[in-house]
Chains A and B, each alone.
Chain A
Amino acid sequence: MAQVVVVTSGKGGVGKTTSSAAFATGLAQRGKKTVVIDFDVGLRNLDLIMGVERRVVFDIVNVISGEARLNQALIRDKRVDTLSILPASQTRDKDALTKEGVQKIIEELSAEFDYILCDSPAGIEKGALLALYFADQAIVVTNPEVSSVRDSDRILGVLQSRSKRAEEKKDPVKEHLLVTRFDPARVERGEMLKLEDIQEILSIPLLGVIPESESVLKASNTGTPVIMDSESAAGQAYADAVARFLGEEKPHRFLEPEKKGLFKRLFGGRAA
């Protein structure tokens, strides 16, 4: 049986798709058979971040409506052979997704894959509810910022009341906190919520901290999941988070401001 993992946040623009792409690629790089599903019907973007936008023929809505078989819609990644992508539809709206349709797809994928990652759309409407409904685990992506923390708290409430596990009174969905766009220098200046404060408020286990990094935009420009940029702080932080997700002990890194030399202090230069 595959583990179903939802990547969610409530708020938009915090890094759900970036994190989904990085996590799916990281799990696949470690030999886990992984599929990542884009649930953002109407606003598909995972295909771009994964660099497969030119290979999309069929999508999740085609599969649900019986216009295509699941195997026809799955895109096999050319870089990591244990990784597949199921794109969202760009033309239909969210009503095209049904609980029964999604259930059938997840059951079919379960037979073939170890991990099924569900990249949730923002909000708490149908698409987001279906993305989290079948989850065994949830990665809650949060920025160190008031509206993001509040929405994460809200989505945790939804996971605890409206997921399949909650409805059937099974063991609860296992929750993980992933803090993204973290800027240690601003935290030090008292301009950004501290990591401990976010943890204290949301009180779920910390999976990883991804530092604010220019490499994330660069990676999305070229359609390469940022975890493949093993030189960058963000790439390394995602790799650590994947290792922790698989049960390894890894100390958290990139929590302190980079010590700048005199040259950098005078002439600038930012984190990679």
Chain B
Amino acid sequence: MSWIDFFRGKRKEESSASAAKERLQIVLAHERIGRTREDFLPKLQQELVAVVARYVAIDPGKVNVNLDRGGDMSTLAIEIELPAPAAMRMAANAR
């Protein structure tokens, strides 16, 4: 903080060093677990798509897997685009 900020009454912002520490703690907590276990996400995606495909005709290219790693909680969001009802009926008749 320079002297001019003092007269402007500018508040000291959150230090970037503490952000660095927090980000490191979160990413390393996850990477340390990953070291002893292989990355399961690709396999999870394959198996989920296979299960859904048993019931609904889906396009494997229209599957999105998103992971957000957090400190206390992580979320895994899987988005599978289902075809329109007409296309589904056609796929069912074709079998």
Contact = CB atoms under 8 A, between A and B. Distances in A.
Contacts of A146: 20, 23-24
Contacts, number: 38
A41 B23 CA distance: 34
Contacts of B21: 193-194, 197, 201
A153 B28 contact: yes
Contacts of A194: 17, 21
B28 A201 contact: yes
B35 interface: yes
Interface string A198-242: 000100000000000000000000000000000000000000000
Interface stretch (A14-22, A53-61, A184-192): A184-192
B10 to A, nearest CB: 14
Interface in B20-43: 20-21, 23-25, 27-28, 31-32, 35
Interface residues of B, number: 14
A190 B24 contact: no
A150 B28 CA distance: 7
B24 A187 contact: no
B74 interface: no
B75 interface: no
Interface in B39-94: none
A191 B15 contact: yes
Interface of A: 145-146, 149-150, 153-154, 157, 161, 187, 189-194, 197, 201
9 contacts: A150-B24, A150-B31, A153-B32, A154-B31, A157-B32, A190-B17, A194-B17, A197-B21, A201-B28
